[in-house]
Structure 1
């Protein structure tokens, strides 16, 4: 038997995502040969902690030195475009966290370049790999709820308004709740219902306005630890938000299991408190599936005979769950495993690529225009 290709990986980004990507690629059997970051001391420390042989701050030099087969882009979205383009020009396959870029036009250009170069890509709107989402996809395909009619995705995060100012507050840096919540929700729904998005409309709103500027925030997951103790300190500087913190989106999806387009509601409040559970519900002509959690973390319930009852995960789905703490880290492992196997020439199920990354960014551009309103003030 011919030995499989040893897949060499170069990581761009040293924070939570970069470290998580590195571990996920190793889980898939790839070799992490280098990591690149902005700050020499930080990238050197992370490389030593993760036992990565090469650490640097110059991306193009790292590409030439490490000669990777695939690169992993784990920086904020506004910093994705140039290193992805350089990696594609170098001949590398690319795994990118979301968003792909800061706008639809540049995202589509990267998709076209990857297609032209015949390189493989993966786009990490990866919460479609939650175990109960995989189960729901199977149940819908089996006709358990009849024809799917509509889907409802509701979530409220109650995020601290005084989280330090950073990339998540800036459109040009890949911030906003559409980039960092809606992408996952849309991927969950298309996975279950069907990948063809027919139409979309929406409204966004900035409920924040500003955030304190604080130095020293490196790991996105630890940003809450840097909230200033005295927000009235006159020396404190503030940054202006220019992205949405709440959104409402309506979409229609084509489904092979339905005769009519399936209606979808996405409702998210980043700063608002929740009263009951966040959830994803798929309603059909003969029943419904309710999954608890903003990203469908479960458990799942089925509606039949006028009552709800919990559905356990099948053994085959449970046995396939990667052994790692954290939903985000587990879902990276699902997707990265597919990409690595695809690079090695194995047959794999379809996964989201730069095609979806570009499509999602174009949809976000449309939603942010807030052009769905009809003036009815003249009506009695």
Structure 2
């Protein structure tokens, strides 16, 4: 391993550019970037001062000889480049979802084990400061034995966001892939990593979206919403993924002898009335964290039957990376641990392709939506 860990990035949009900055901030050397369109990848490489740019992933692996590859493209195109990188002997950092299906994700996890490469799966909102705070409080028996968790969010997304990968199951789209992965990671980081059982219901409330040219960066896609949505010449793409979900899970926790019940409820297109939140209910109290990804503040329900806001512990506050954006900060937290592990340093456990494959298999089960019992015959 060279003194500086060499990183090759795939993806020129928000994630690819974000991964580049995060790896650099954590001390790695970004030696190349690969994208679909020659003009775009050359422009991004110039703007980010990346020495190598190209559109041929396999050739980039040969030319750049990276220690690590960072995958910042939609999940539907992850499988082949990740497989090639593992075969090449690279460690792999991948954004979620790992792939578009549980079967292909499991194969990549098994290949990584076979080739003895390290992997990181970026369902990384478990590194939010108030998630770490909640984890500490639960572990300290502040609320007694954890009993159940309620996790509610409503995003009220614009229905006419241009048609793209987020609308297609085969491309890694859907709210389970791009919202539930983070939420499940948050809950397991607090309670324990062993998921015992799961069931769910999904719904596509969208149906279709306008097809618009020129959308490149996921974060700026709203800028391309057509001014006249009733324009006769406008073309439409059909959605085939869920925009709302309800998931029930049971999670084993070392903090209690019984499984903890968890309810996840998300409406991607629906407006919120009260704040999005996560609540952990225990035998002696409860913890409420405001925000769809637990951005805070955090409140503790005490022995006086009052919800009292809790200050973020100083050590957690001081550990927050100095950069704008929750996503960007959480990438840095995970990348820091990942790089330390690659260097052979002792690190805390972090999510790898093991969780990436598990999560995708769970999503497949939820999407099957076959947990209903027909009771129409009952009188």
The verdict on a shared fold, with TM-score over 0.5 as the criterion, is yes
CA deviations on 1:198-256 (whole Å, 9 max, x unpaired) are 00000000000000000000000000000001111111100000000000000000000
Query: In the TM superposition, what are the counterparts of 1:59-70 in structure 2 within 5 Å?
Result: 59-70=57-68
Which of 276, 279, 284 lines up with 1:278 in the alignment?
276
CA deviations on 1:275-296 (whole Å, 9 max, x unpaired) are 0000011000000000000000
In structure 1, what is the equivalent of residue 101 of structure 2? 103
Structure 1 stretch 4-13 or stretch 203-212: which is displaced more? 4-13
In structure 1, what is the equivalent of residue 312 of structure 2? 313
In structure 2, what is the equivalent of residue 265 of structure 1? 263
Which of 176, 179, 196 lines up with 2:177 in the alignment?
179
Question: Any runs of at least 4 consecutive aligned residues in structure 1 with deviations exceeding 2 A, and if so which?
Answer: none
CA deviations on 1:13-34 (whole Å, 9 max, x unpaired) are 0000001001110111000000
Unmatched segments (≥5 aa) in structure 2: none
Partner secondary structure for residue 250 of structure 1: strand
In structure 2, what is the equivalent of residue 12 of structure 1? 10
Partner secondary structure for residue 144 of structure 2: coil
In structure 1, what is the equivalent of residue 234 of structure 2? 236
How far apart, in 2, do the equivalents of 1:170 and 1:315 lie?
43
**Could you tell me how far 1:5 is from its partner in structure 2?**
3.6
Query: In the TM superposition, what are the counterparts of 1:102-251 in structure 2 within 5 Å?
Result: 102-251=100-249
How far apart, in 2, do the equivalents of 1:207 and 1:342 lie?
42
CA deviations on 1:16-62 (whole Å, 9 max, x unpaired) are 00010011101110000000001111111111111111011100110
How far apart, in 2, do the equivalents of 1:251 and 1:142 lie?
24
In structure 2, what is the equivalent of residue 303 of structure 1? 301
In structure 2, what is the equivalent of residue 28 of structure 1? 26
> Does residue 354 in structure 1 map to residue 346 in structure 2?
no
How far apart, in 1, do the equivalents of 2:142 and 2:65 lie?
49
RMSD value, Cα: 0.8
Count of residues in Structure 1 that have an aligned counterpart in Structure 2:
378
TM-score by length of 1: 0.99
> Does residue 87 in structure 1 map to residue 85 in structure 2?
yes
Partner secondary structure for residue 309 of structure 2: strand
How far apart, in 2, do the equivalents of 1:205 and 1:285 lie?
34
Partner secondary structure for residue 106 of structure 2: helix
> Does residue 333 in structure 1 map to residue 304 in structure 2?
no
Partner secondary structure for residue 240 of structure 2: coil
Residue pair 1:5, 1:344 contacting (<8 A) in 2 also: no
Partner secondary structure for residue 322 of structure 1: coil
Unmatched segments (≥5 aa) in structure 1: none
How far apart, in 1, do the equivalents of 2:40 and 2:272 lie?
37
How far apart, in 1, do the equivalents of 2:236 and 2:272 lie?
27
**Could you tell me how far 1:345 is from its partner in structure 2?**
1.0
**Could you tell me how far 1:376 is from its partner in structure 2?**
1.0
Partner secondary structure for residue 358 of structure 1: helix
Which of 71, 76, 95 lines up with 2:74 in the alignment?
76
Partner secondary structure for residue 306 of structure 1: coil
Query: In the TM superposition, what are the counterparts of 1:52-63 in structure 2 within 5 Å?
Result: 52-63=50-61
How far apart, in 2, do the equivalents of 1:285 and 1:298 lie?
23
Residue pair 1:4, 1:344 contacting (<8 A) in 2 also: no
How far apart, in 2, do the equivalents of 1:283 and 1:118 lie?
40
Partner secondary structure for residue 375 of structure 1: coil
Residue pair 1:245, 1:270 contacting (<8 A) in 2 also: yes
How far apart, in 2, do the equivalents of 1:314 and 1:210 lie?
45
How far apart, in 2, do the equivalents of 1:337 and 1:26 lie?
10
TM-score by length of 2: 0.99
**Could you tell me how far 1:4 is from its partner in structure 2?**
7.8
How far apart, in 1, do the equivalents of 2:315 and 2:25 lie?
20
How far apart, in 1, do the equivalents of 2:316 and 2:229 lie?
47
Partner secondary structure for residue 180 of structure 1: helix
In structure 2, what is the equivalent of residue 374 of structure 1? 373
